[in-house]
Amino acid sequence: MVLVLCIGDMHVPHRATDLPPKFKKLLVPGKIQHVLCTGDLCVKEAYDYLRGLCPNPGNVHVVQGVYDEMGGAHGGVAFPETKTVRVGAFTIGLIHGHQIVPWGDVDQLASVQRKMNADVLVVGHRAGFASHKIEDR
């Protein structure tokens, strides 16, 4: 079994001092094979933390958020706006979500998903969780 962590908009330490303790307790280093992050890590330490969760740091995939001050978050190189990742039989697209106007618009998200040729599109930026099945994907 492959364990994939989808996370984003951590905003640590700007809006929270840390991840919630009960959630953080679940994040056991070495058990998660892939980390897919929709950005807004804000600081290099948050990126380093995610890299420490994966046995293969190359399986930590992050896209640029609004508050990522990447002049430093991972060696001074900006994260990409979007990224496509293959995990098992699935092609997964990552985007922060601030680029979608209006935010969270399902039709606009479907358009991005088609352009990325993704089976699954993981989007952040908005509070809460939603899941949509679009065109049998």
- What are the sequence ranges of the domains in the chain? 4-123
Q: Is the pLDDT of residue 26 over 70?
A: yes
List pLDDT tens digits, range 67-114: 887 554 555 567 999 999 999 999 999 999 999 888 888 899 999 999
Question: Model's pTM, two decimal places?
Answer: 0.88
Predicted confidence band of residue 137 (pLDDT cuts 50, 70, 90): low
Q: Report the DSSP pairing between strands 34-37 and 90-95.
A: unpaired
Quick one: what percent of the chain has pLDDT higher than 90?
57
Q: What is the mean pLDDT of residues 16-41?
A: 92
| pLDDT for res 72 | 45
Cα torsion 110, 113, 115, 117 to 10°: value is -130
Predicted confidence band of residue 1 (pLDDT cuts 50, 70, 90): confident
Cα torsion 1, 59, 91, 32 to 10°: value is 30
Q: Is the pLDDT of residue 28 over 70?
A: yes
| pLDDT for res 101 | 86
Give me the CATH topology for the region 4-123.
Purple Acid Phosphatase; chain A, domain 2 (3.60.21)
Q: What is the CA radius of gyration of the chain?
A: 15
